[in-house]
Amino acid sequence: MNLEKWIKRCDSLSKRTFIEEDGVKKYLFARLSGTSQANDIKKSAVVIDDFYRTKDNLKCKSGNPSELYKAAISDTGFDMPLWAYKSLNLPLQVCNMTFMPQTKTCNVYCPWCFVDDYNKNGRKEDGAYFSNKEVIDAFLDARKGLAKEMHVMRLSGGEPLLVPWQWLENLEELKRRGLSEDVYFQGETNLTTGSFIRQLQNEGRLDKNFWEKIAEYNNFGVLCSFKGTDWKSNLRAIGFSQKDGTVNPEYKFLDKERWNTFETMVKAGIDVYPFIYDPNPKTLKYFLEKGVKKFGEEFALKTWIIPLKIYEPIRNRLDKRGLQLEIFQKGLDENFKKSRGIMEKLIPKITGCGYKSIPRNEIILKVQ
Ligand code: SF4
C-alpha cells in the first residue's frame, strides 16, 4: 500500500457510496433497525424511518444550562451542543438534540467502532440512497413531531468524507431554505481522505474551492478524529494491526495524511475540533507538541481525549479477531486514565490555561 493506492481505494469506496440520478447525487445510508448497533441506540436514541436517529448529545436530566455545560466538559461529555448554541445564538438547552443519518461506508477498521461492520461495508444491501434534499426534509419532518426543539444535524458514518459533495450540498440546501441561522450542521471525519479529495478537485469532480466554500458557513464545525498519537498507535486504532499489536509500516503514510487533511481544513478557515480517541500515553506529549508547532498553542487547548466504551458491535468484532473483551476494555481504560492525567499537567504548561477550561468554539487554529 502507498498513498496512490490509498487514493484509488477511497475512490472505489466513494463510488459505491453514491449514485447520480438526473444530475442529483444520492448517498448511501445505513439502515439502523435490526442491527446490533440498534441495541445500543435503543438506550440513547430514537430511530426514525429506519435510517435516521435523534439523540441528546449530553445526558442531563434537569436541562439546566449550567448543568448542561458541566456535562459537556465532563470526561465522557461531547461539547457539540456548545459549538451549535454559540453559532446559532440560541439557548444551550435547545441545541442538545441531534438528527443523525449514517453513511454506509468506511475506509478504516477501528476495533472499537460503534457501527456494525455490515453497516459500514460500502455495499447497498439493506441500505438506501437519499439526496440531501430528502435528508433535510426528513430532519424537518422529524422535528415537527418532537416535544423538544431540534437545531442540529450530524452526517455521521462510516467516513462521510468519502462523499465530500454531501457537506457542501447540505450547507447550501440549508441556506436555500433560510435555515442557516436555525440549523447547525456538524461534520465528522477520520482525516484519511485529504489526498483523495484533492484528486477529485484536480479531476474536476469536486469544486476546486470546496474547503473554502465550506468555511464560509458559520453554522458548521467538524469533529476531527485523530485516532492515535503516533503512527503506530494510529494504525492500531484504525485497525491496521495484527492480533499481537504489530503494525504494517507500509501504512505509515496515513499518519502524514491525517495531519495534512487537518491542515487543509485549518488553512481554509473551517472550524475544526480535534479529538484523540485512542491515545498512547507515551507519545501524547509528542503529538501535542507536533500540533502546537503546526497550529499554535491553540491546538493543545482545543484537543480533547475521549474515553472509549465497548458497544454491542465491538463484542462480535473482538470475538472474530480472537481478542478478549475484558483485556481490550482494560487497556482502553488505563490509557485514558494515564492520558487524562498527562493532559491536565501538560496543557497548563503549554498554554497557561487548564485542560477544558475554555469553550472550544472560542479557540481558533491557524497554520503557523
Ligand atoms: S472511522 Fe473508525 S469509528 Fe469511524 S466509522 Fe470508521 S471504523 Fe468506525
Q: Which residues line ligand 1 (CB under 6 A)?
A: 106, 108-110, 113, 115, 120, 157-159, 190
Nearest CA to ligand 1 atom 1: 190
Q: Is the pLDDT of residue 244 over 90?
A: no
* Mean local confidence (pLDDT), 280-296: 97
Q: Give the pLDDT score at 316.
A: 78
The answer to whether 343 and 355 have CB atoms below 8 angstroms apart is: yes
Q: Give the pLDDT score at 44.
A: 65
Rounded distance between C-alpha atoms, residue 284 and residue 188, angstroms: 22
Rounded distance between C-alpha atoms, residue 66 and residue 68, angstroms: 5
CATH (domain of 72): 3.20.20.70
pLDDT in tens, 186-238: 999 999 999 999 999 999 999 999 999 999 999 999 999 999 999 999 999 99
> CA gyration radius for the chain?
19
Rounded distance between C-alpha atoms, residue 58 and residue 222, angstroms: 18
Q: Is the pLDDT of residue 112 over 80?
A: yes
68 domain residue, yes or no = yes
Among 113, 121, 162, name the best residue to mutate to test ligand 1's pocket (greatest count of ligand atoms within 8 A of Cβ). Answer: 113
349 domain residue, yes or no = yes
367 domain residue, yes or no = no
368 domain residue, yes or no = no
The count of other CB atoms within 10 Å of the CB of residue 174 is: 23
* Spacing, Cα 113 to ligand 1 middle (Å): 5
Rounded distance between C-alpha atoms, residue 302 and residue 362, angstroms: 9
* Spacing, Cα 42 to ligand 1 middle (Å): 20
Q: Is the pLDDT of residue 313 over 90?
A: no
Q: Is the pLDDT of residue 331 over 70?
A: yes
pLDDT cut 90: percent of the chain above it = 80
For the chain, what is the largest distance between any 2 Cα atoms, rounded to a whole number of angstroms? 56
Given the CA of residue 106, which atom of ligand 1 is nearest to it? 6
The domain of 66 spans 3-362
* Spacing, Cα 10 to ligand 1 middle (Å): 14
Q: Give the pLDDT score at 43.
A: 65
- Identify the H or E element spanning 231: helix 231-237
Q: Is the pLDDT of residue 283 over 90?
A: yes
Mean pLDDT of the chain: 93
pTM: 0.95
Among 28, 159, 235, 317, name the best residue to mutate to test ligand 1's pocket (greatest count of ligand atoms within 8 A of Cβ). Answer: 159
* Spacing, Cα 158 to ligand 1 middle (Å): 6
* Spacing, Cα 340 to ligand 1 middle (Å): 22
122 domain residue, yes or no = yes
Domain count, the chain: 1
pLDDT in tens, 62-81: 889 999 999 999 998 899 99
Task: Read off the C-alpha cell for 350.
Answer: 503549554
Looking at the DSSP bridge assignments, the partners of residue 18 are: 27
pLDDT cut 70: percent of the chain above it = 99
The answer to whether 271 and 262 have CB atoms below 8 angstroms apart is: no
pLDDT in tens, 6-58: 999 999 999 999 999 999 999 999 998 888 777 767 766 777 778 899 999 99
* Spacing, Cα 132 to ligand 1 middle (Å): 22
pLDDT in tens, 130-159: 999 999 999 999 999 888 999 999 999 999
Q: Categorize the per-residue pLDDT at 312 as very low, low, confident or very high, splitting at 50, 70 and 90.
A: confident
* Mean local confidence (pLDDT), 336-361: 96
